[in-house]
Each structure stands twice: as structure tokens, then as C-alpha cells.
Structure 1
């Protein structure tokens, strides 16, 4: 029985991955029937598909919010069931960050270290994967680029507000690109922006030019 169930899950995962780029709602409908699954690879894919549906232009505001909170609930269950699965940690960090968009800056700042820790754990569990490095780099970039007013408020609200540097962000984006060149349409512009923040004008120009030439159009 267990062997048959495992085979069914493999087939389900294969089908979901085949449909991932083009059939957002179909994947979600396929996977949501398995939201009570104890298989973390099913759950993080369900979480990912819920996020994609939430970001579709024809998804209502009410459905977007519902799906965003749903994906966080699913992601926490996935981490509990798959503590050594890097994708579970990666997507839990993404989901926690997404929920912060609904709960305001105070909550987002309060959750910032937990978001970072999920991404860092994903890097630790699978250092050869580019996406956790990219996500950790983006966290470093956004924390460092935090507006002065928000940073000042964070110092008032929290004893130790989140901090990072553009150098840390650059190291993460570089590592992501070395692991898998052109793996995503999002890493090149972040490399360009980070070099620009550091005053590296030639490197920034090089990476931002690659944005126009890149064949990659696959976001997360």
C-alpha cells in the first residue's frame, strides 16, 4: 500500500512540474485536493501554486489575500514534515514575507529575521541550488536599502532591527549566478542594482545590459 501511495505521489509531482509554467489554476486545483498530505514535496508545490494563482491578474483581492494566508499555513506544515527539505524552508520564507504585505511594516520587520533564517537554512541544506542564494541576497538588499524613516521606526520598535550590507547581497547574487547562470530573469537586475549601490558602474552596466539579452524569463 505504501509503495502504491509513493508511486501516486511521484506521478502527481511529475504532472505538477510539467504544468508549472503555464497552467497555474490547473496545478492548484490538482494539488489542493492533497492539502492533507504528509508528503512535504506535495505541500511546498501546493504552496507555490497557491502563490502563482494569487498573483494572476484575474484573481480578486479577496482571493489573493485568502490564498496568501493559505500558502503560509501550508508552508509551515511542510517545514514540520520536511525539516531537511530545502524547498520547504525556501517557500516558507517566501510565504511569511508575502503575508507581511497584508499585515504592515511592523509585522514585516518583526518577521524579518525569521524570513532570513528560512532562506539561510535552505542555502545550508542545498548550497548548489541558486534560488535560496538569490532569496537571501534579496533579503540582504531590501534590508540594507530600507528607507531612513522605516529604519528609524524599527530602532524604536525593536531592540535589534534587521541589518545587512550590499556586499552581503552581492555575494549571494554572485553565488546564485555561479550555481546556475541565467537561471532566472530576476537575478541579473539585482546584480546590476547592487553593483550600482556599491558604486561599481561598469559592472552594473554589464549586468543591466544582460537583462535585455537574457533568454531566461522564469521568475519564482
Structure 2
């Protein structure tokens, strides 16, 4: 499991202060025209190859049947007394052998078809996931996902990955127009994925992350709406996959931000919603601790968040314990220097509580 983007603090906070698109075919249509001719050429080439294979196999079958027929005639001539019985039996056995063995390659069962279709796709998705998790070759990944959408239309697994890829690319953009375009397309892809299959934790997770990222660019009312939408999808995701540490971290961040809202921010939320978001530092702490249990590596940012919860609760000794744990994680394993700096700053600030 790869860590969440280091910018998660900004967009989760924005979501706190901050539904289904057309079906997946609509998204696929955006790419279909530019890929249609190429795809048709590939299909025709593949069909020609398959027909050539069938012709060769039929030639083999005809030759085998001819050899069996010749053998049957020889047996018929050599056994005059039982010629009728021998001939009938031989022909029956010949047909039986042909059906059970020589025609085996025609037995294209559903299971075999599924395997032949799914294995290349699974291999492609595995390679794409590795690149997405390491944020490498993102534009190439997006193009591959678009091509796969043409071959496998209305595939929800492809669509939420398109959303994830758009989010990764958006984070590397500096132009605000391009950032917005990638966020909108990513949200659209995740919405389509969820519509096709609502029981995908990853689709809901990346929908929440994209909505949280978008909320930072919107006015107050839309930010609060995005905050509600963020919480909705992250709650659904965690109900589907409670063992995902990153989801617990996201819920913890949300609860921490809500618990820290100023009185006037709460008042604004109350005027816009009859039931504004509510959360406590204890709830946030519970999710951060659960994330630490589930994660299979030392997650410095999650440990920092755990310490900040203890600080908010006035439990400074416990906070220092978690700050020490966070400080032990090598800076080069974090990537975001702001996390390292905040850990050092808090250690110095609360050193007197040791």
C-alpha cells in the first residue's frame, strides 16, 4: 500500500470548509473517435490470424479423418464375415474420437474465454498500478487506460484508475486551468465507475480525494458541500474495506479538521446545513491509531497526526512519544520536507513535558 499524497492536509482541510455523471460509455466516447481506426485495424488483423489458425486446424482434421476412413476400408476388406459390424463400429469410434479429442480446440468455454480476456488486462493493470503508486509515466498511464477503455467498455476498474491518474497529474500541474480540468475529469471518471459498481472501495476513496482537492479552489458554500460529499464517499469506502489504513487516515484528518473549526466557521456551516459536520479529537485519534496498526511500514505523517491529536487533548507526554516515533523515520522516506520540519518544531516546543 502506497502512502497518500503529501498534499492530503491541504485538500482535506479545504473539504471541511468546503452527483452521478453519464454512464461510462460517455467517457469512453471521448476517446473512441481518435482510436477507432487503429482499433479496427487491430481487430481485423487479429480476426485474420484466428481464421488462418482455424483453416489450418480444419485441414489437419480432414487429413486425420481421411486416414481413419482409409484404415476403416482396409479393416472392412480383411474381415468379410463381420464386414457390416466392423464398418459400423469403426465409423462410430472414429466420430467419437474426433469429437472428444480432435475438436477439443473448438471447446471455448466461458471459463477459458474469461481467462484469456482477463489475464492480459490484469497484467496491464498491475503495471499501471505500479506506475501510479510511484507517480511515474503518468501521461503514458492515462493513454493506456483510455485504450483499454475502448477494448473493455464500461469497466469500473479502469474508470476509477483514470480518476486516480487525473489526480496524480493534477498535483504536478501549475496552471490552474489544467489543474481544474484534471480534477473535473477525474471526478467524472470516478462517478461513472461508482455508477457501474457502487461496491468499490477504491472508487469511493479516489472520488473523496478528488472532491477534497477540488474544494480548495471553490467558494465557502461549495467548499462545505464538497466537505459533505468527501465524508459521504470516504465513509462508504471504509465500510467496504475497513482494513485500508489510508481510509482511516483520511477519516482521521477529516475529524481533526472538524474538531478544530473556529466558532464562526461552525456558525457558517450551521446556516448552510441543518446538520453540519461534527467530530472530536478523540474520534480523530481513534482512526489514526487504527491506521498505524494496519499499515505495513513506518508512516511518518500518520504518527505526526497522532501526536497532534494528543496535543489537542492536552496529553503532552503521549504526544512526545509519537513525535519520537515520527522522528525516527528517515527524512528521505517521507518526501515532503514540511512533515519533517513540523515534527522537529513540535519536539522542540513540547520538550519541557518530558
Map of 2:127 onto structure 1: 15
User: Which of structures 1 and 2 has the bigger CA Rg?
Assistant: 2
Residue range with higher mean Cα deviation, 35-44 or 169-178: 35-44
SS in 1 for 2:217: helix
1:185 Cα deviation from its structure 2 partner: 4.0
Map of 2:75 onto structure 1: none
Map of 1:217 onto structure 2: 334
Map of 1:61 onto structure 2: 176
Are 1:72 and 1:92, in contact at CA under 8 Å, matched by a contact in 2? yes
Distance in 2 separating the partners of 1:45 and 1:196: 37
Are 1:100 and 1:107, in contact at CA under 8 Å, matched by a contact in 2? yes
Map of 1:136 onto structure 2: 251
1:34 Cα deviation from its structure 2 partner: 4.2
Map of 2:211 onto structure 1: 96
1:209 Cα deviation from its structure 2 partner: 2.7
Map of 1:116 onto structure 2: 231
SS in 2 for 1:68: helix
User: How many pairs were matched up?
Assistant: 218
1:109 Cα deviation from its structure 2 partner: 1.3
Distance of aligned partners of 1:92 and 1:35 in 2 relative to their CA distance in 1, 3 Å threshold: farther
Map of 2:77 onto structure 1: none
Residue range with higher mean Cα deviation, 121-130 or 98-107: 98-107
Map of 1:28 onto structure 2: 142
- Partner of residue 48 from structure 1, selected from 131, 145, 164: 164
Aligned runs of 1:103-182 on 2, under 5 Å?
A: 103-182=218-297
Are 2:149 and 2:155, in contact at CA under 8 Å, matched by a contact in 1? no
Aligned runs of 1:197-212 on 2, under 5 Å?
A: 197-212=312-327
Q: What TM-score, normalized to structure 2?
A: 0.57
Residue range with higher mean Cα deviation, 166-175 or 144-153: 144-153
Are 2:298 and 2:329, in contact at CA under 8 Å, matched by a contact in 1? no
Are 2:160 and 2:189, in contact at CA under 8 Å, matched by a contact in 1? yes
Distance in 1 separating the partners of 2:251 and 2:166: 22
Are 1:184 and 1:218, in contact at CA under 8 Å, matched by a contact in 2? no
More helix by share: 2
Distance of aligned partners of 1:200 and 1:71 in 2 relative to their CA distance in 1, 3 Å threshold: same
Are 2:156 and 2:193, in contact at CA under 8 Å, matched by a contact in 1? yes
Distance of aligned partners of 1:204 and 1:183 in 2 relative to their CA distance in 1, 3 Å threshold: same
Q: What TM-score, normalized to structure 1?
A: 0.88
1:16 Cα deviation from its structure 2 partner: 0.8
Distance in 2 separating the partners of 1:85 and 1:99: 21
Distance of aligned partners of 1:33 and 1:143 in 2 relative to their CA distance in 1, 3 Å threshold: farther
Distance of aligned partners of 1:33 and 1:197 in 2 relative to their CA distance in 1, 3 Å threshold: farther
Distance of aligned partners of 1:71 and 1:35 in 2 relative to their CA distance in 1, 3 Å threshold: farther
Map of 2:302 onto structure 1: 187
Where in structure 2 are there 5+ consecutive unaligned residues? 1-112, 337-354
Distance in 1 separating the partners of 2:190 and 2:235: 16
The yes-or-no answer on 1:39 pairing with 2:39 is no
Where in structure 1 are there 5+ consecutive unaligned residues? none
Distance of aligned partners of 1:89 and 1:218 in 2 relative to their CA distance in 1, 3 Å threshold: farther
1:22 Cα deviation from its structure 2 partner: 4.0
